[in-house]
Amino acid sequence: MAAASGGADVKVLEGLRYPSGHAALHIACLQGCLDYLGAGLSYSWLCGGTGHAFIINIHAEVDVQGTNDWGPQMLFELAPNLGYRCAGLRELGPSPAQDLAAQRREARKLIERYIDQGKPCYGFCVDPANPDYSPICGYDGQGYYYSAIGYAEPTGPIAWENLGTMWIDWVEVYGVERCEPASDEVVVREALRMALRFAEGPAEWIRPKARSGLAAFAVWADYLESGEAILLHHDWNLQVWLDCRETAVAFLGEAKLRLGKAKGQFDAATQSYRVVAEKLRDAKALIPKIETTWQERRKFASPEAAQLIREAGTAEGDALQCLQRIVRAL
């Protein structure tokens, strides 16, 4: 693990990177933090073991916010099974100015405390160019430094008073540290159990205008048929949920080898998720060339894509039944 470095007024965790190549940026961000801590977790084991590889959350108009705008308690509850813990602030806004100022002060204390201990942090919308999760790798008296996708060197400082004002009006920051992991069987069983619960659409996790599980595929297809899906956001949803389903295939294969039991059910679930991934990949091939920005809300209608999404949902239903049988077997 690299040590914190810098002058008297600057402390940076050298070597903390944001791995590229994955669309599920919350997990990619966590991967960077855990790689820095020397945890030795593969992306598939991390994404699957937190349950993220098996979820789907579709917001109204297939809005891009659906990829992150859901209660992430599952990720944090399952984290110790994988050998790490996250502690921090998640205050969803918009927040009154005085509350935002207080949250910003608490976030600064957390960042300084963890960085001083050589432990990485991360947050939501801490990068002015990326409305998603990014690792926080250092700080000075002026603000914090973060790791941007595709850049080896830290970026910053971003003034402390800007925290919680870029893209959003709330503060969401976490510190990451290692702990003793659970057994592989516990990792798999609890991740699949939590994923099955997520698919049921619990109100404490799923926003009123969003749907999870099989209902998410139906709503997604309906929007594509009606022409009300936002093109750019539909494309990003495809990238994120395809990343997850491809990772689900990898996680299940790794779990089968590690556990050596319920092999038939692991094979069946793997095959179903392969079909889900194939259908999402085919739907992505129908996306026209996009030359626009996140602010562009051009709509997209495609009965062909809608049919592929419905077929993906059918395969997802088969996969969830397999996950139930795996949980019972474990």
Check whether 14 has a pLDDT greater than 90: yes
pLDDT digits (tens, 9 = 90+) for 241-289: 999 999 999 999 999 999 999 999 999 999 999 999 999 999 999 999 8
pLDDT cut 90: percent of the chain above it: 82
Closest CA relative to residue 74, chosen from 241, 242, 212? 212
Model confidence pLDDT, tens digit, residues 114-146: 999 999 999 999 999 999 999 999 999 999 999
Average pLDDT, the chain: 93
pLDDT (0 to 100) of residue 269: 98
Round to whole Å and give the CA distance between 107 and 268: 45
**71-122 tens-digit pLDDT:** 999 999 999 999 999 999 776 666 777 788 889 999 999 999 999 999 999 9
What local confidence, expressed as pLDDT, does residue 292 receive? 65
pLDDT at 33 over 90: yes
Q: pTM for this structure?
A: 0.94
Lowest mean pLDDT among 18-32, 238-252, 300-314: 18-32
